[in-house]
Chains A and B, each alone.
Chain A
């Protein structure tokens, strides 16, 4: 089990947040690629991370080396940071105005912001076909949602969008603009499990586990709505999920406390 990491004044940035920022890559434009992140921690601390990428289209990689990723702590505010000159802005609108005025080629109109597991991210120049699943996995390194079919058939990629389960492979990232996304990583710090995770843990209810993150998200939405669902409600909530280990009955039995 991962060891718990304390947020302290001398360690204001959690390793989780740090890694999240460090692994980010952007599908680029001819001009440049931008990733903006501002993240509110609890207890009034705010972490802001700026990451720049190189300009080759599509496959540029950001690393934490050589000061490319800067991580600092400021007061309890969200800052939007220009990826080109590091100037800080209090609002997205101000940043957009700055981009338009100062950085020719950066499409200031095409900024997608979304909140994932409580952290707010802004992306510039997302391709129109980029799926939410791709964005979560390849740009935010949140690999919990699985690509089982990439066409809405298996439920492996299920995340919560504004509290409702969606197949993230079928949601365009730009469609999620302004939405709040929850993924399996957001349910637990790896030590304290969520209600549904705990139920499955107690029943030792997983086999290979590939379908589990998606099923956990659908079951989470169900349990939030109804603490003690009926068989038919469980059936319906899980009906969009496949499990080729044949483990659906075990998940269902666990949610219904049958065995």
Chain B
């Protein structure tokens, strides 16, 4: 492993931490105090309907109402309704109360259709159509590998196991969708919450036809966002209202609006898997069927749910069948990915069920069947740029003392009468890779510092990672690399989507290039002064020095003082290719860059109440190389909390009778609080495999941190000896499984 001066060093701080701590970082709604109208949307009361008439005149006449728009004026408002809570009209008024009152005055006439919000009903033969797809509720696809029946013929035993349904949950990000907009002539100014400012500008342009260069979009602070802040629906509604009203408009969604409109509900999934194994635990073949609720957006995510299994296990013969089912439920979308969390939960449960039938330790069963680092991925035929899945499993297990603590299911009781359980799950994730091209720009200042200008919002860690990459290349101290402006489409470079855990590696690589570009110019200045050629120079620890004679040096401050023109560095992201040889694969080989992870959890189950207490958790993530180390830790620990919520609490309850969301808020949709947490029981382990593609050997870690949901279900089985394979695992399910309810 390379020895870095800045990269991966503990103690480096988040770049806007003081602004955040003092309440001075501006989020979307923190603008134009008192000068903005408030937008509210009228949401459908039916889950499947056509609006036949709408009358907004009473709303328009209400004092304080400045604009009312419907589907006739805004493509983000709808006449054909396919989900309960779909947006029909919007109002901008002087305050929230007036806008809310105005919504009540809008008269809508609906023609009701058949709604089906229960996925099992929608997939029944002959079920009425949900209206999401033409003529069908179900779409099917298949994937084949090798010769499945030949594979099963090699097996000594065969098991057919099921898992699911996983839970439908809403994203519940702390800051809802929010945008403040106003117009000056035909120039639109937008402050928004975001995971992709440039993508949002694109969407606005494509949807509305407004010229791209006249859309000035800024996203500075963004309050949490694990996949739900890529769109522009809320911005467009605010902008259309602002145009009509001739005044600034803020659309900061209520929790109710957020629950109805949000694209990010994690969808429900189910799996049935036939597994052929030899007596020693080697898997010879699988035949898997996945079902996924495609919701009212008609998402086809079933075919992504197999990803982790296909990449993680060495199974030469397999067949996957995928069913996506359209229902009249709220839109599904990414919450730490679209398909990985439910998919990984499902097959990791099946792995434990098969290990249990074989009488094997589930950790040993997993390790026995892992793909090997010298294998090409079956479908893409590409090598992996790094492979740490085995270390992840071993280190997560070791952190919780797996060898001592794992026991046969249901046979360890703690002294207080509660049942002890331990579980593990892990996989190669679809995320963390080099994604579509993006660009980076930075400025060297005349006082010897560097300002980067990334085209992304300040959501969490990756902007700080870019500062590490840049400081390492320039040989500056971390403290001397700053974030200038960011997330501003007029002045930053296109930074791509903060999705797929790709920024640290993709935009990070562009920042390495930008730093090299600027360094070359600075070296030319220094070389001229020092009487050397630039190729004789290196940089480190705030100095530019002669490589062969490091005592012959100038500080960055001294060199920058000699810049006769501003030095700007620019760079583009790297392709997904090996940048050093891996085994026999040469530099330049197309490769798979994949985050990898394992998570172990130790719990106590109260057999009288069904309550589950999480005692210890450990994540081991193959991140290639941790760049911003405290960001890595916070992300892993955050993953622990999110996994606790996803597996034990979160569920968006839908009334199948009318498709309504029954808990469209925070308090009825239980969230992890401080009362649930043992902070001393959280363990984060960076497995550093020095990736052969990523800048400074890194891979992305965001999504890999949170998708080992099955560890909790597996621990519950280990504790109780009964499977609860539908999420969330609530106390009532535990009691029912124990025969007590």
Contact = CB atoms under 8 A, between A and B. Distances in A.
Interface of A: 1-2, 23-27, 57-59, 61, 127, 129, 134, 137-151, 153-154, 156, 183-185, 187-188, 190, 193, 197, 200-201, 203-213, 216, 231, 234-250, 252-253, 256, 258-259
Interface string B350-382: 000000000000000000000000000000000
B674 A238 contact: yes
A89 B564 CA distance: 59
Nearest to A200: B21
Interface string B620-643: 000000000010001101111110
B94 A139 contact: no
B671 A185 contact: no
- Which one of A154, A238, A240 has the greatest number of beta carbons of chain B within 10 Å? A154
Nearest to B642: A246
Contact of B221 (A187, A209, A243): A209
Contacts of A247: 634, 637-638, 641
Contacts of A236: 674-675
A241 B672 CA distance: 10
B666 interface: yes
B46 interface: no
A127 B96 CA distance: 12
7 contacts: A144-B24, A145-B23, A204-B13, A204-B17, A207-B461, A247-B638, A248-B672
Contacts of A127: 95, 97
A235 B641 CA distance: 14
Given A146-B27, A148-B174, 15 more contacts: A23-B34, A58-B95, A143-B30, A143-B33, A150-B255, A204-B13, A206-B20, A209-B20, A241-B674, A245-B638, A246-B639, A246-B640, A246-B641, A248-B672, A249-B679
Nearest to A152: B667
A252 B37 contact: no
A25 B461 CA distance: 36
B679 A253 contact: yes
Given A154-B174, A211-B174, A246-B640, A206 B17 contact: yes
B530 to A, nearest CB: 34
B173 A235 contact: no
Interface in B1-51: 11-14, 16-27, 29-30, 33-35, 37
Interface in B195-230: 221-226
Given A57-B64, A249-B641, A256-B679, A149 B665 contact: yes
B406 interface: no
B35 A147 contact: no
Closest 3 CB pairs of A and B: A144-B23, A25-B34, A210-B223
- Which one of A127, A207, A209 has the greatest number of beta carbons of chain B within 10 Å? A209
Contacts of B134: none
Contact of A137 (B33, B630, B638, B667): B33
A244 B172 contact: yes
A242 B673 contact: yes
Given A139-B33, A210-B223, A246-B638, A258 B679 contact: yes
Nearest to B93: A58
B665 A241 contact: no
B33 A212 contact: no
B535 to A, nearest CB: 38
Nearest to B10: A204
B311 interface: no
B232 to A, nearest CB: 20
Given A27-B94, A193-B22, A209-B25, A249 B640 contact: yes
A105 to B, nearest CB: 17
A156 B459 CA distance: 16
A234 B674 contact: yes
Interface in B87-126: 94-98
Nearest to B30: A143
A119 to B, nearest CB: 16
B450 to A, nearest CB: 17
Contacts of B277: none
Nearest to A189: B22
B460 interface: yes
A58 B94 contact: yes
Contacts of B252: 147
Contacts of A183: 23
B677 interface: yes
Given A193-B18, A197-B21, A242 B30 contact: no
A139 B34 contact: yes
A60 to B, nearest CB: 8
A207 B634 contact: yes
A185 B24 contact: yes
Contact of B174 (A24, A187, A242): A242
A24 to B, nearest CB: 7
B462 to A, nearest CB: 12
A247 B672 CA distance: 11
Contacts of A256: 679
B637 A249 contact: yes
A187 B637 CA distance: 28
Given A200-B21, A201-B17, A244 B94 contact: no
Contact of B20 (A142, A212, A231, A237): A212
Contacts of A203: 630
B175 interface: yes
Nearest to B680: A258
Nearest to A183: B23
B679 A208 contact: no
- Which one of B221, B461, B672, B673 has the greatest number of beta carbons of chain A within 10 Å? B673
A77 to B, nearest CB: 28
A155 to B, nearest CB: 9
Contacts of B129: none
B224 A235 contact: no
A212 B14 CA distance: 14
A256 B96 CA distance: 40
B611 interface: no
Nearest to B37: A59
Contact of B671 (A61, A156, A242): A242
Given A57-B94, A253-B680, A210 B175 contact: yes
Nearest to A243: B174
B223 A147 contact: no
Given A211-B174, A246-B641, A193 B665 contact: no
A241 B673 contact: yes
A225 to B, nearest CB: 17
A121 to B, nearest CB: 14
B635 to A, nearest CB: 8
B18 A208 contact: no
A145 B175 CA distance: 12
B33 A239 contact: no
Contact of A141 (B33, B638, B682): B33
B255 A210 contact: no
B135 interface: no
B34 A246 contact: no
B174 A235 contact: no
A208 B37 contact: no
B24 A2 contact: yes
A192 to B, nearest CB: 10
A213 B23 contact: yes
Nearest to A135: B34
A244 B682 CA distance: 17
Contact of B34 (A61, A150, A213, A216): A61
- Which one of B30, B94, B174, B642 has the greatest number of beta carbons of chain A within 10 Å? B174
A57 B37 CA distance: 12
Contacts of A210: 27, 174-175, 221-224
Contacts of B666: 149, 153-154, 242
Interface in B462-487: none
Contacts of B459: 208
